[in-house]
Copies of this chain bind each other. A is one copy, B any other.
């Protein structure tokens, strides 16, 4: 039955994902999830015993899938650094503007209310991974002459913080696609040699 169990667990996580995306973290009740899953109250408790447990499980599933497949794939090809950075930014843009199934708000609510040690904070991991990827791409770009900067790490961090700022702004003050494009472009332009 472990097979069937795993199946059901996955099913619950999917439905719960939708609930967290819609209501954030704090407003979600076990009842919400039960109803979304259309299972019994007791049934849910068999798998998860609190919204926190549920949320953390949803989150790790989510991150697992997340693995920036597009980027990874591209890295295996012979794409230029510029192409790959563009690809990365395209993914980020999609995430920033995503309305459906976004866990961003739920993450803010959860991680701002719970002091998670950085080492095990998935948000932190994602952020650091992003910086790492961007830094690498920039360095590659410098080597190939596509990019120009004397602080690739600083630039990568700057980019990631801007992305964070855009994400939160998208949820709180509302921004449109043009705004995102403009901001990302601003940064990219800082990277490109300006002599031309």
Contact = CB atoms under 8 A, between A and B. Distances in A.
A97 interface: no
Most chain B Cβ neighbours within 10 Å, of A118, A121, A162:
A162
Contacts of A174: 115, 118, 121, 124
Contacts of A158: 158, 162, 183, 186-187
Interface string A138-174: 0000000000000100110110111111111101111
A11 interface: no
A170 B136 CA distance: 25
Interface stretch (A2-10, A67-75, A104-112): A104-112
A122 to B, nearest CB: 9
A172 B107 contact: yes
Interface residues of A, number: 41
A94 interface: no
Interface of A: 23-24, 26-27, 105, 107-109, 111-113, 115, 118, 121, 123-124, 127, 151, 154-155, 157-158, 160-169, 171-174, 182-183, 186-187, 190
A127 to B, nearest CB: 6
- Dominant secondary structure at the A interface: helix
A113 B158 CA distance: 28
A111 to B, nearest CB: 4
Contacts of A108: 105, 108-109, 112, 168, 171-172
A171 B171 CA distance: 16
Contact of A109 (B26, B107, B166): B26
B24 A27 contact: no
A135 to B, nearest CB: 13
Nearest to A158: B186
Contacts of A127: 169, 173
Given A118-B173, A158-B162, A151 B186 contact: yes
